[in-house]
Amino acid sequence: MSFSDRVVCEPRSFKLAFQNDATVNIKEINDEILDSVSKYAIKAVLGYTKKGRAVTFEELARNGITEDLVDAVESGDEMVKVLTFDFKEEKLFVFDKQSAIALSRLKLTVSYRLGEEPVTRAVPEEKPLDPEDDDYTADLFVKTKAG
């Protein structure tokens, strides 16, 4: 069992940004996503790729599981990171009623801690940023948040 198999990720907050010309009902979209997070937590689906594959908060949060987590979480501390994703144009979609609208940026705040048992993953073990798995991320910035 690897270290990353025991890391528990919890979404703290998210902020969506859409392409400039997109007309969206941001409240409705946020409410729908928050409802999903309240039911499924980190396994909630944020959106879908152009090919229709579901993208979960857990899949995106795994990009924050890096070497700097090891010391912090192994000592029992919680670490909070802000992950900012820039998406490829027209790649990741969220749904507003019957229309699909391209998401251009996501700012996701996630807490990480070490669990007692291995965490069951909703996505394959490959890293989300491997080209065969990720056809939507253009760039990613990870920042550790002061606690």
Other beta carbons less than 10 A from residue 114's beta carbon: 18
Position 34: which residue type? L
| Structural domain count of the chain | 1
Residues whose CB falls within 8 Å of the CB of residue 69, separated by 6 or more in sequence, listed in order: 7, 79, 112
Q: What is the dihedral of CA 85, 91, 95, 96, to 10 degrees?
A: 90
Separation between Cα atoms, residue 12 and residue 9, nearest integer Å: 9
Domain span holding position 65: 3-145
Per-residue pLDDT of the chain (147 residues; tens, 9 = 90+): 566 778 889 999 999 998 877 778 888 889 999 999 999 999 999 988 877 788 899 999 989 988 888 777 777 788 999 999 999 887 888 877 667 888 899 999 999 988 776 665 544 444 444 445 677 888 999 999 865
